[in-house]
Structure 1
Amino acid sequence: MTFAFPRRILASLVVVGALGLAGCGDATSTAALRVGSQSVSADFLDTILTQLGDAGQIKIENGQVPPESSRSVLNALYRGEATKELLAKYGVEVTEADRTKVRTQVSQDAAFSNLGEDLQELIISLNAGDLALARLTAPSEEDLKTMYETAPASLGMMCVAHLVVKEESTAREALDVLNAGEKFATVAAKYSIEPGADKSGGVLGSENGDCIPLADYQTQFDKDFVTGALGAKAGVPTGPVKSSFGYHVIYVRPFDDVKLSVKTLIATNPGEFLINGYMATADVKIGSKYGRYNPATGTIVAN
């Protein structure tokens, strides 16, 4: 039996929301992860993994948890701790009404009462945090601009133009032209081998405008390209970035060029965009035995 989590932890478990457990930040135990003022102890992670194993959600053999299971659960816990930080930043609290609503929903499943106590509390806390996250509103245009110009991905979206060529030397030549002051669209039209670049100017947009959700980049784009895009500064041509398609010059478009798209897109789900952006740009520390957080994929991966 699995429970209704909106985001995947494992093949059979998914989690979103804020982790509100006092035991997660036990300073006397080695931290499995730290972000901002929040942390998850290795002991707490072990407890959750054990209770997931007891519930048949993960396979434990000879007392050993598969590394990918640990990373998947830890990734969900990272989202939880990040959500706590984000809610605190915007002055939104997880209310008892949130917890009661979730508790009522999960208690309708008879199997819930058979789960370990810590796992039950985690399920309630994560889902209650998700309800609080949904109450976040979009920042002001001034704050959006500040966040975008400081770390474009912090808004949970990317507003990018690019050109791609076969040879690194060609990419460097195009970059020199851009650094000399030529407009990106003009250079992309001349150099890029991407079909339609002469008309699009290399803009990577969607039917919703000039920006694409970061989650789409993390799940659908070449990971090396995403890494390059995440490292680029607004208004500064960056490259060459090698991907499976060739060599790119990446251009995170200036805020004033895309602000209408930014405001329109973030208004559709402020909490989700902001948490994805926070997770991709936060200074998160993962215990070395578990792996590292890769913002290009939005997951904890092996070292």
Structure 2
Amino acid sequence: MNKIFLVIALCLSNSVFAQNVATINGNPITKDELDSTLKSLRLKNASAEQRQAVLNELISRDVLVLEAKKQGIDKKESIKMAIETARKEILINSLLQDWSEKNKITADDIKKAYDETIKSQEGKKEYKVRHILVKDEAKALELSENIKANKISFEDAAIKESIDQGSAKKGGDLGWANPEMFLPEFGQAIQMAHKGEMTAPVKSQYGYHLIIVDDLRPIALPSLQEATPEIQRILTQKKMLEYVEKLRSKTKIVISDEN
């Protein structure tokens, strides 16, 4: 009877051992761990050389982990907090990934959102805009007078004076844009402007703008196929936020005054 148990124990031991691809001071690296790492690196069909290279990386990793523990680094409070934060992130990412798999956005969801967007944009226009941004109104008025008097071109004034460095080097050109993309006061000024004419200084939280609308046209809307990836991303994010809020609403949360 004892011999039978011994044989079974040896068989089990050999079976477990066969699943280990390496041991470091007796600590195993399993075949599953190696395969999982290869999969995460998109090396599912890795060659023998690739498997060995990744295994060597895992061995080096575990050697370094053992040395860190030997030096007591894992006992430091800052390291404990970092490890706990990483653990939480892994759990959260896994939870949300599982949730996403079970709550996929459907083709009907995407089509409905697309149709609503198309309807909301009917009759709206986009504008080809240039602007100069300066800190104070006096400077804006001075530039406006000099441009009107042909002492300097709008493009040169933008290059020399505009504090919006992104558009300044392009002569103030902002390209084609929907007014809704801008600050409200800027967007309103664009829609009220006459094509080709410079506006009076427009105040925003960033300073004063001189604006020229070079052209306007009906908003170019993407096809359903073109819009699908972005709509799917937005709808997924929206549903995920709703999921988080639902969980929060069912959880007792106490926020300390000392935070």
Question: TM (normalized to structure 1)?
Answer: 0.31
- Tell me the TM-score normalised to structure 2 length: 0.36
Higher helix share: 2
Q: Quick check: which has more Rg, 1 or 2?
A: 2
